[in-house]
A and B are shown apart, each in its own frame.
Chain A
Amino acid sequence: MIESPNPVVRMLSGDEAVARGAWEAGVAVASAYPGTPSTEILEEFARFPNVYAEWATNEKVAVDVAIGAAYAGKRALATMKHVGLNVAADAFMYASMTGIEAGLVIVTADDPAMHSSQNEQDNRTFAKFARVPCLEPSDSQEAKDLTVAAFELSEQFDTPVLLRLTTRVCHSTSAVRLETGSWKLEESADDESPIPNPQSPIPKFPRNPAKYVMVPGNAIKRHPVIEARIRAVAEYAETCPFNRVEPGDRALGIITCGIAYQYAREVFPTASVLKLGMTWPLPERLIRDFAASVDRLIVIEELDPFIEEAVRLMGIPCEGKRIFPLVGEFDPRVVRESAINAGLLPGDLHVALTGVDVGQLPARPPVLCPGCPHRGAFYVLNKLKVLVNGDIGCYTLGLIAPLSAIHTCGCMGAGIAVAHGAAKAGSPEHHVAVIGDSTFFHTGIPALANVVYNQSPVITIIMDNRVTGMTGQQENPGSGHTLQGRPAPRIELEPLVRALGVKHVKTVPAYHVEEIEKTLREYLKLDEPAVLITEEECALLPSARKRWVPLEVLDNCNGCTLCFRIGCPAILKSDELDEKTGRPKALIDASLCTGCEVCAQVCPRDAIRFR
């Protein structure tokens, strides 16, 4: 959170603003699995007083946890990236059927342009699918305001509410007004303040099986209830203060929402605009009246033609994806150029580029950090030329040359089961599944149980670095402490894997290249499930940083280049050439090297000094 010099206005990211709004709304329980661009919401929320916040093992668990709290009569929040809602879909759907006792808000952070995701699905469709209202903020102020409104809406209509953010809302910073003199500025508990203490005792957990036990006999009676509920919310949408007409030139009317509203306002400063803060259900009369008030109606929305199709179904002519892209992220230029091409704006508004040709530039892909404990295993996998079914995490970067040792990666927890399926289909190769500790806790465990139950010779490597690395070192069940810094039991992987019935299990220090290679070579001879756990904490953790000692290349390096095959950013080609071979000798950048010694182990001439 950025403190501004002016105490009533703070610059907040959208994620920070949602956290602030949740706290102001009196949320008692929040649960999440980390995922870009949603992660910072819970990190920020966890710092407020009198709240409970946790990292769940996966998004479905997070939503179930929030549902339990909302059933128990406390406002509850679950946050996730867009694909997390796929994992949580089962819970999301039944929560819609049962409704709640206290407000329940699910935050989905969608990622148009896939800055850090495997797809760019538009989760507004989930709201429609589940008969749940969807709110979409356009900046940080609205992110806070709509979070508070979402809880009120949830309780008013006995429904979960989906708050849909996108990367540009989550990770953009804009001013948020905080009213002075109100309890909202007090970040310490104050018994006199009107804020309800979220941790006060709850009334008895409801005993209402007709509403909360979704066996067919009860569920069949709930379905008409939720259909009537979404019609009632649609009626409310007609006067919802977050759906507003900004009158302007009648020649062009624009329906827009979310971050696209900002681009629409910038590119069409004089047009009439219907700004929708609630994008499901839609306010039909408001849309009809707006459409009738303008000569030409367009919809500006990122990704799917979600509003456009609904407006067309109302029988109202409009244009949207015929003009603006279906794929990727908008910005003012995309919107302006699309509008010029469609004849909506004059060509003289075109912004010319300088057209400078900067020539070839070296790629700067994200890479495994210097000292990353995943590096040694990937070096071996590449050396053995085995087929690797990967998973989601830092270790997906094992894909990048020169390690080049990931052959599939689709979603969280997929690798082990994909390997099993390929093995059962008769794949002629031995399949190795690579998965991180956090992803193993997330959805890897059921897949490994399946490998044991149905027996395939899949080799699973669990790369255990004790944190959820890619999203920024968040805690997980193997870390030994919680999101809010409390000590927690550390779930050990080897006993867990043995308990599942895997007979061949070995834990190896992740920096021990030779031992990893020896173990994998043994496993490749087996015809049974086997698990290798490579163990070493993430090199970026403060406890690991204390052990950093840079290594040094010795004079007997002959420039054989083998150490470059581990793809470490700390190893460079020096300007010094070997006298015999004429090849550049290796050089270690002492400012980057952590002293993990993987390079020293692969050097055939002992030309890198051990620590």
Chain B
Amino acid sequence: MTNTLNFLLAGVGGQGTILASDVLVNVGLAAGYQAKQAEVHGMSQRGGSVTSFVRWGKTVYSPLVGAGEVDVYLAFEVAEALRNLGQLRRGALAVVNMQAIKPVTVTSGGQPYPDDDRLRAKIAEVTDQAVYVDGERIAAALGNARAANVVLLGALSALIERSGLAPELTPDDWLRVIAGRVPAKYVELNRQAFGAGREAVGEGQQLS
């Protein structure tokens, strides 16, 4: 890596974005980079938006990433994917989870909620490097929808590998960090979820 790699994670409280960004910052550290993470979770327990930045690099100063400088986007939810889209640089990598969590302003307040076509069209205006994953469905098929965040991390790992942005990293680096972050009885489930996320974006190679 020549410079820094700037990640933005965006979702809704309770979706596992904070675990995902913990994994991401530790994967960076395990790969030998300096790594920092910053999140806002003050109100997230009450169903609010959650965003988190992760940065990897030879030298990382700021834990925050300025608007227009996001290289890699991990969006957990349709409306939040759009809400933070303006922060991406043109051509950024993006993994978008096709889950809709409608806020009360929609469910009982009558505000419109964006449809999938608008989401894809707007993301296409910014980058042609986006993949769309149905993390909940994939995780549920493995037996636990809560592993959706690890499905997304699997997809993200494949996308980063394909891009050549962090050539030092192997899937095992990710799996080791994930295994260290979840209870022992869920390690195998998360291994499968990670692998399924990679397959979902066309990276089916065997994990050791």
Residues on A lying within 8 angstroms of B by beta carbon are 2-6, 9, 11, 36-37, 115-116, 139, 167-168, 171-175, 259, 261-263, 265-266, 331-334, 336, 351-356, 358-369, 394, 397, 401-402, 472, 540, 561, 564, 567-569, 571-573
Contact = CB atoms under 8 A, between A and B. Distances in A.
Contacts of A262: 61-63
Contact of A573 (B37, B43, B67, B108): B108
A260 to B, nearest CB: 10
A361 B22 contact: no
Interface stretch (B81-89, B154-162, B197-205): B81-89
B109 A171 contact: no
Contacts of A11: 22, 25-26, 29, 35, 37
A4 B29 contact: yes
B69 A332 contact: yes
Interface string B21-56: 010011001100011111111111111110000000
17 contacts: A3-B180, A5-B176, A115-B40, A168-B38, A168-B64, A171-B38, A173-B37, A173-B38, A352-B68, A354-B86, A354-B90, A356-B125, A361-B114, A365-B104, A366-B48, A572-B107, A573-B108
Interface string B96-123: 0000001111111101111000100010
Given A116-B42, A364-B105, A353 B36 contact: no
Contacts of B12: 364
Given A352-B68, A356-B85, 6 more contacts: A5-B180, A175-B34, A354-B86, A363-B105, A365-B103, A366-B46
A37 B42 contact: yes
A336 B42 CA distance: 27
Given A11-B35, A116-B43, A354-B90, A172 B63 contact: yes
Interface of B is mostly: mixed
B115 to A, nearest CB: 11
A221 B111 CA distance: 66
A331 B114 CA distance: 29
Contacts of B176: 5
Interface of A is mostly: loop
B46 A368 contact: yes
B153 to A, nearest CB: 15
B5 interface: no
B95 interface: no
Contacts of B112: 360, 362
A333 B61 contact: no
B47 A356 contact: no
Q: Which 8 A-B pairs have the closest CB atoms?
A: A333-B66, A116-B42, A366-B46, A366-B43, A172-B63, A564-B108, A362-B111, A366-B48
Contact of B62 (A263, A360, A572): A263
Contacts of B90: 354
